[in-house]
């Protein structure tokens, strides 16, 4: 298992002293101004530290640009986004979204979630794919509060990583070869979306430290995601106090589990998911500059 880190590389487990928040982490890391090519590729106002693009009803829409690959290149701004449910788009949010020029939309939710909550408006305008990578549904609001929350979530990620290999492969192929820019999303933009983001960044040879930090940025949206749950579930009690949380410790466990089983996350992607060298090369060609 990789050596455990503190600070910007990971979030502490519950109860740790002096936790490093995502806000503080990215304030330290992101003092520089965007390079000229980043400014050119960015199509909407957003904070290049937190990567969040502001919407009224979406709380976790982020540009994945700027992460540094081991070869010195960086992910382009304005070509790949991760988000919470695009079924919430409407009004000014819809116009703002269209301004991003997105052409490929990957919806990672169950079909029954889409039926209940809606899909992106006018899906015929996009290369749209519903790829439900999770096959065993569970209700985070009902998780036993006495369980180790991060271990429990990591085990659910492991199920998705094994059950959803076909959908994961197709999602990566669409990001590599579909019309761009692209966005992938689930309901909260946290777990299913977080796994795809981590795997794509792995294929781009982005460091684990950056992958963990990207996952933890959802913590900036936790309060609003929790408020959404309460608004949608009047009269229900949320049993699990960690609902909406996304500490880096969860993704650290996920990556360590895959490494233990397959030797590395890259081998998992090649052997279990079936990502070919051609797809990896195409992904890097499209996303790195």
Flag whether 223 is in a domain.
Answer: yes
Mean pLDDT along residues 49-67: 91
* Number of domains comprising the chain: 1
Could you tell me if residue 4 is inside a domain? no
**Residue 264 falls inside a structural domain:** yes
**Assigned domain for 253 exists:** yes
- Whether 202 contacts 287, CB under 8 Å: no
Tokens 């299913």, located at residue: 192
pLDDT category at 44 given cuts 50, 70, 90 is: very low
Stretch 88-95: mean pLDDT, rounded? Answer: 96
Question: Does residue 281 carry a pLDDT above 90?
Answer: yes
User: What does pTM read for this prediction?
Assistant: 0.81
The answer on pLDDT for 171 being more than 80 is: yes
Q: Which residue has the higher pLDDT, 74 or 37?
A: 74
The position carrying tokens 């919470």 is 84
19 pLDDT tier (thresholds 50, 70, 90): very low
Q: What is the pLDDT of residue 142?
A: 67
Largest CA distance in the chain: 52
**Residue-range definition of the domain harbouring residue 195:** 56-287
For residue 236, the model assigns a pLDDT of 76
Half-sphere exposure of 285 (CA within 13 A, CB side): 9
Q: Is the peptide bond before 92 cis (omega within 30 degrees of 0)?
A: no
- pLDDT for the residue 61: 97
Side by side, the strands of the sheet bearing 127-130 are 62-63, 80-83, 182-185, 104-107, 127-130
138 in any annotated domain: yes
Is the per-residue pLDDT at 118 higher than 50? Answer: yes
Q: With respect to residue 274, please indicate whether it lies within any of the assigned structural domains.
A: yes
Inform me whether the pLDDT recorded for 257 exceeds 90: yes
- pLDDT value of residue 266: 98
How many residues does this entry show for the chain? Answer: 289
Q: Over the stretch 138-155, which tens digit does the pLDDT of each residue have?
A: 676 666 777 888 898 999
| Least confident interval from 62-71, 91-100, 147-156 | 147-156
Q: Is residue 280 part of a domain?
A: yes
Looking up residue 229, the CATH number of its domain turns out to be 3.90.190.10
């Amino acid at each position: 298992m990789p050596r455990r880190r503190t600070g910007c590389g990971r979030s502490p487990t519950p109860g740790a002293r002096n936790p490093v928040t995502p806000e503080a982490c990215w304030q330290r890391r992101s003092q520089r101004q965007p390079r000229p090519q980043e400014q050119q590729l960015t199509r909407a106002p957003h904070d290049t530290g937190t990567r969040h693009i502001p919407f009224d009803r979406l709380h976790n829409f982020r540009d994945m640009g700027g992460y540094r690959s081991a070869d010195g290149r960086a992910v382009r701004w304005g070509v790949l986004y991760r988000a919470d449910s695009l079924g919430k788009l409407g009004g000014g949010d819809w116009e703002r979204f269209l301004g991003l020029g997105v052409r490929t939309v990957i919806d990672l939710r169950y079909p029954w979630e889409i039926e209940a909550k809606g899909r992106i408006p006018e899906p015929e305008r996009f290369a749209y794919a519903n790829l439900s990578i999770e096959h065993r549904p569970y209700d985070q609001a009902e998780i036993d509060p006495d369980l180790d929350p991060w271990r429990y979530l990591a085990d659910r990620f492991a199920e998705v990583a094994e059950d959803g290999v076909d959908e994961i492969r197709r999602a990566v192929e669409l990001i590599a070869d579909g019309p761009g820019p692209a966005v992938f999303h689930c309901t909260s933009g946290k777990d299913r979306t977080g796994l795809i983001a981590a795997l794509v960044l792995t294929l781009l040879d982005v460091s684990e430290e950056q992958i963990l930090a990207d996952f933890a940025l959802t913590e900036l949206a936790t309060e609003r995601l929790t408020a959404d749950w309460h608004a949608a579930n009047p009269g229900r009690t949320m049993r699990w106090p960690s609902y909406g949380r996304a500490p880096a410790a969860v993704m650290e466990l996920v990556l360590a589990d895959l490494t233990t089983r397959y030797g590395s996350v890259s081998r998992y992607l090649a052997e279990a998911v079936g990502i070919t060298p051609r797809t990896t090369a195409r992904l890097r060609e499209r996303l790195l500059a």
